[in-house]
């Protein structure tokens, strides 16, 4: 099994950036990018398991369906968040624990947009 290495995304953190925003850009975005294929596969698996005919939907309905799934299915949301926090270091995890609701919101927001931008990869 090939071990994935977290990317370092340049030029995302500016002076005066809040701690949460800094965490989002230095930790969340690289981990989410690293996990892209797993996130898409997980979403495809979700659609299959729920028997959702995604390909039959219009572009706009696909985007709405993605938003709806990440907003309403708490089990799927928690699994998705777990795929990201499982890659945190101990220090990152401690910061996450102090700010979990805001960080969870950001994780889901970024992933929802990433899945929408990857509609062509959805089966």
pLDDT recorded at residue 11: 58
**Domain limits for position 44:** 20-121
Give the total number of structural domains in the chain: 1
Q: What is the dihedral of CA 24, 25, 27, 29, to 10 degrees?
A: 90
pLDDT recorded at residue 15: 62
Cβ atoms < 10 Å from Cβ of 101: 7
Q: Does any domain span residue 4?
A: no
Q: Does any domain span residue 90?
A: yes
Q: Does any domain span residue 14?
A: no
pLDDT tens, position by position, 19-77: 999 999 999 999 999 999 999 999 999 999 999 999 999 999 999 999 999 999 999 99
What tokens appear for 79 in the block?
Answer: 């699994």
Q: Does any domain span residue 3?
A: no
Q: Does any domain span residue 85?
A: yes
pLDDT tens, position by position, 82-110: 999 999 999 999 999 999 999 999 999 99
- Under 8 Å between Cβ of 123 and 44: yes
Q: Does any domain span residue 31?
A: yes
Q: Does any domain span residue 6?
A: no
């Amino acid at each position: 099994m090939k071990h994935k290495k977290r990317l370092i995304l340049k030029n995302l953190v500016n002076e005066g950036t809040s701690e949460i925003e800094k965490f989002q850009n230095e930790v969340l975005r690289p981990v989410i990018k690293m996990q892209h294929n797993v996130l898409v596969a997980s979403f495809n698996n979700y659609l299959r398991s729920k028997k959702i005919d995604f390909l039959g939907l219009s572009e706009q309905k696909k985007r709405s369906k993605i938003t709806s799934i990440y907003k309403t299915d708490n089990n799927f949301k928690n699994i998705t968040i777990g795929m990201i926090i499982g890659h945190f270091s101990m220090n990152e995890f401690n910061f996450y624990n102090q700010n979990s609701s805001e960080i969870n919101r950001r994780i889901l927001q970024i992933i929802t947009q990433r899945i929408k931008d990857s509609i062509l990869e959805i089966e």
